[in-house]
Structure 1
């Protein structure tokens, strides 16, 4: 993903197409130059690198390429590199605080160069450093230095640029249609990714594959940036399918069409995608934990297997199972009105399963309450206690773990009198009787012996018969 001002796109005939580059020729040469400069610049500050890499923008322009291409590639390469804070000769926070306090105390505001110099000299003397060191800290206290340049090839960088252009464009999407064909494992991972990313979607079977209809960031009234980032993260998942096609309505002065298919897959990186977090919100995590605590005998699963509702696919938020019975839980929370209507239609078509629909009271309209499923209304945050009574009715009492019998003490065989023997000799006798030497002291105590320690050497410690109390 890139800042919106780095999106290079062309509009023609009601369609919009981002600039996608072949990893060859001028684009490849610019990418290689960026990466070479980074490899030669370990130890330089981020500011220096940004200034040096900006020189390539003019080069791109002279070669007939939009200068934003070079800037975007530099942004991606810097983002893929590792940086560390500059090692300052003194604490930057304390230095700034001391300078500002001295300036206010002495002049109110240090306006002239002489006043500024006077402030710096006083503070440097107080901190025991040179004025030059103090100025360096004040000027670059937030800067970083390059420690590890981006580990990618020039071809990789061009492909990452293409992916980022598509992701940036989709930030302005009103609606997104994704069609894909993939094996079972990839299909399941992609559907789980859609769910885990918290996207507003509708999944349907289409021919030999799946069609996803996803609400775009431009269709929402709030959290649009966060949602757009999540939508952008879905694109690499889609590109792992065997066949795929993306169609989107892009908002602008007028709605524009965007289309992309696997015919251009060679322009994009094809790499394994990190699994999305199991919980996409703290609310879901807390619900899972509270329900698991209430009923440890039930198996609570996040995002279980997909369910088929007519021609559509639904992945419930949770399932709870016990003794061969299973109940699914779908949480109705942050949704648009249109998405809620589509979701309710899908839930009405879903049959053959036991489902609890948990609805925020702000969305608990009559159409929700008329669903052919159990409905639970909650306020603000869903807790395990909100659904526990209904789950108990549907699943029965949670199975309790069987009580474990306390371990039986092993029997101690008959032994000769050990009184007067050294501890080493007694341990040898116990070992011969099949007793673990690690339990020697414990067994001797149970047999009524005590050990007289004269040193830490077992060959010098003596075993004595313990005296009875009062004797």
Structure 2
């Protein structure tokens, strides 16, 4: 995505317009030139790349657009690495220690550095040249990092990513987002809900698969201090929405006038007829950090033969009156028992009340809740004793052991209903 200083948004009455580039020759040519510039700089430093980009910008009025395109190429398609025979900090300590033995005159300083590099090369006993020592001395500075790999997109793909990034930037200032998913393929709903869980968005879901769902999302400027990080998480959801066939989105924005600095409320509307193109894969999203760590630990136990319970990510929707639940995992035993696992992490009281109300409405007898001990359930008004689910408590990380212990208590041959 683009940083705020490269976003080009224009108020239009009570709404906001985001800059969009057409797939026409002038913009395709600019995108082509930028991609070629990055390709020609592979093996050179980021500082050298920045100099070339400044020359390409020239004094044209479209410099912000060029910078935006370059930012996407730099952040999404490029790999910069520190290239040094030692960690640069260790290398500097070694060089400075050698230099402290005998300080050179200012006239001989450059020659002295070459001498020190040659001396250190011999001490390292590696296939290292003195020039590598000199280049690696400050290789950790951003401008000295080497562009080691560039996965070139097509010019059209770059323009699509730019247009999408401009729209995503609008949601940095969202206070309220309502997403209507009309009647679609059930698989599209499951993918959408997976992304909602992945980005840990505060959502309220109403509806049913046969009619569609309304998803209400609290924005970073809603009930608490505006959070740029949370605004980015909402923006990350936009490419996922594009995989749904029929949808409509409306957002309320807290917009600051660039001249008067006055804060006002603006609206933004987007739907499935837009021309935006997603770069997300159409398959399932990656796990969140908590889920990924738990799944990794569980897989290790299975690989070592320490449990027969298989952990699956593809989980069916649990219909509840007027809404839906989608647990994080399914636990399946070869003898037949199946349990669903939902991880309840860090959320504010209102969200917790609604979450546990959903659990009660679901009347799901094979549901396991893994609940963080950091949550203040009493403050949220949640009576955990009334929740019709099996409970596992965890602190910072959810470990497989307490879940396995619960499963053993339930009995591997118990068939949940």
Q: TM-score range by the shorter chain?
A: 0.7 to 0.9
| CA 1:98–1:377: 2 relative to 1, 3 Å | closer
From 350, 368, 388, the equivalent of 2:362 is: 350
Deviation at 1:238, TM superposition (A): 1.1
Q: Which residue among 313, 320, 325 is the counterpart of 2:324?
A: 313
Provide the secondary structure at the position in 2 that maps to 1:236.
Answer: helix
Does residue 304 in structure 1 map to residue 305 in structure 2?
A: no
Q: Distance in 2 between matches of 1:294 and 1:145?
A: 44
- How many residues align? The count is 391
- The equivalent residue for 1:260 is 270
Contact 1:180 1:238 in 2 (8 A): no
State the match for 1:173 in structure 2: 174
CA distance, structure 2, for counterparts of residue 133 and residue 389 of structure 1: 55
Q: Name which of 267, 275, 279 aligns with 2:284.
A: 275
**CA 1:16 to 1:175, structure 2 compared with 1: closer, same or farther past 3 Å?**
same
SS of 1:241's partner is coil
Q: Decide which of 72, 75, 79 is 1:76's aligned counterpart.
A: 72
One of 328, 332, 341 as aligned partner of 1:329: 341
Q: Matched residues in 2 for 1:87 and 1:39: separation?
A: 19
Distance 1:305 1:88 in 2: 50
Paired residue for 2:239? 236
Q: 2:376 aligns with which of 363, 368, 391?
A: 363
Inter-partner Cα distance in structure 2 for 1:299 and 1:81: 36
Distance, in Å, in 2 between the alignment partners of 1:358 and 1:86 is: 41
Match of 2:125 in 1: none
Whole-angstrom CA distance in 2 between matches of 1:47 and 1:274:
37
Match of residue 378, structure 1, among 380, 393, 396: 393
- CA RMSD across the alignment: 4.1
TM-score (norm 1): 0.68
CA drift of 1:343 comes to 1.6
SS at match of 1:257: strand
- Give the TM-score taking structure 2 as reference length: 0.75
Q: Using a 3 Å threshold, how does the CA distance of structure 1 residues 224 and 295 change in structure 2: closer, same or farther?
A: farther
Which residue is equivalent to 2:157?
Answer: 156
Structure with more relative contact order (C-alpha pairs < 8 Å, separation 6 or more): 2
Structure 2: distance between partners of 1:390 and 1:359: 14
CA distance in 2, matches of 1:94, 1:352: 58
Provide the C-alpha distance between the structure 1 equivalents of 2:60 and 2:110, rounded to a whole number of angstroms: 43
Greater mean deviation of Cα atoms: 271-280 or 303-312: 271-280
In structure 2, the CA distance between the partners of 1:126 and 1:397, relative to structure 1 (3 Å rule), is: same
| Contact 2:294 2:399 (8 Å CA) reproduced | no
CA radius of gyration, larger in? 1
In the alignment, the residues of structure 1 paired with residue 409 and residue 170 of structure 2 have an alpha-carbon distance, to the nearest angstrom, of: 49
The residue that corresponds to 1:201 in the other structure is 203
- Between the aligned partners of 1:294 and 1:100, the Cα distance in structure 2 is 53
CA shift at 1:74, angstroms?
0.8
Change (3 A) 1:114 1:255: farther
Deviation at 1:135, TM superposition (A): 4.8
In the alignment, is residue 97 of structure 1 matched against residue 99 of structure 2? no
Question: Residues 270, 132 of structure 1: CA spacing in aligned structure 2 closer, same or farther, 3 A cutoff?
Answer: closer
Alpha-carbon distance between aligned partners in 2 of 1:196 and 1:73, rounded to the nearest angstrom = 27
Any stretches of 5+ residues in structure 1 without a counterpart? 400-471
Partner in structure 2 of residue 210 of structure 1: 213
- Residues 216 and 334 of structure 1: is their aligned pair in 2 closer, same or farther, counting only changes over 3 Å? same
Note closer, same or farther for the CA distance 1:314–1:290 as it changes in structure 2 (3 Å cut). farther
